[in-house]
Structure 1
Amino acid sequence: MRAVAVAGAATATIKASGLVQAVVSPLHTKTPPLTASDMAAIDTALGKKGRYVETEAVYTVALPRNDLKVSIKGEAVPIPLGFGGWVSVKRTMDGKSAVLMSDTVLLQEEVNPLISAAHANGLEISAIHNHFFYESPRIFYMHLHGMGAPDDLARRYAAAIKMTKLFPANQPPAGAAPTRTGKEIFDLPMLDKIVGHTGTVNGVTYKYTVGRGDMTIMAMGAEMTANIGLNSWASFAGESGAAHIAGDMAMLEAEVNAVVRALRSNNLEVVALHNHMLGEQPRIIFLHYYGRGAVATLAQGFRAALNELGKEKGGAIQMQPS
Structure 2
Amino acid sequence: MAKIKQQQVSPRFRQLCNRFSRTLGGTEHEIEPGPVCFVSRTRRFKASILGRRTNSPLVNYQLFSFESLDRSGRALCLGETACFQNQANRLIRNLQKRGITVTALHNHWLNESPRLMYIHWESIDNPLAFARKTKESIAFLG
Q: Specify the TM-score bucket, using the shorter chain as the normaliser.
A: 0.7 to 0.9
Q: How far 1:207 moved relative to its partner?
A: 1.9
Matched, 1:206 2:37: yes
Q: How far 1:283 moved relative to its partner?
A: 0.7
Question: Match of 1:180?
Answer: 9
SS of alignment partner, residue 112 of structure 2: coil
Relative distance call for 1:264 and 1:173 in structure 2 (3 A) is: farther
2:64 pairs with one of 234, 243, 248: 234
Relative distance call for 1:224 and 1:305 in structure 2 (3 A) is: farther
Correspondence list, 1:29-108, <5 A: none
1:223 pairs with one of 53, 62, 78: 53
SS of alignment partner, residue 133 of structure 2: helix
Question: Match of 1:253?
Answer: 85
Asked whether the 8 Å contact 2:104–2:121 carries over to 1, the reply is yes
SS of alignment partner, residue 140 of structure 2: coil
2:123 pairs with one of 291, 296, 306: 291
Aligned partner letter, 1:304: E
Relative distance call for 1:291 and 1:184 in structure 2 (3 A) is: same
SS of alignment partner, residue 111 of structure 2: coil
Relative distance call for 1:276 and 1:184 in structure 2 (3 A) is: same
Relative distance call for 1:223 and 1:210 in structure 2 (3 A) is: farther
Q: Deviations over 1:216-235 (max 9, x none)?
A: 11113443324234322111
2:133 pairs with one of 301, 310, 314: 301
Q: Hey, what's the Cα distance between the residues in 2 that align with 1:255 and 1:279?
A: 18
Asked whether the 8 Å contact 1:209–1:226 carries over to 2, the reply is no
Q: How far 1:300 moved relative to its partner?
A: 1.2
Q: Hey, what's the Cα distance between the residues in 2 that align with 1:209 and 1:301?
A: 16
Larger Rg: 1
Q: Hey, what's the Cα distance between the residues in 2 that align with 1:199 and 1:207?
A: 8
Of Structure 1 and Structure 2, the greater helix share is in 2
Identity of aligned residues (%): 20
- Any gaps of 5 or more consecutive residues in structure 1? 1-171, 310-314, 316-322
The total of aligned residue pairs comes to: 137
SS of alignment partner, residue 297 of structure 1: helix
What value does the CA root-mean-square deviation take over the aligned residues? 2.3
| TM-score relative to the length of structure 1 | 0.39
Asked whether the 8 Å contact 2:66–2:127 carries over to 1, the reply is yes
SS of alignment partner, residue 118 of structure 2: strand
| TM-score relative to the length of structure 2 | 0.82
Relative distance call for 1:205 and 1:305 in structure 2 (3 A) is: same
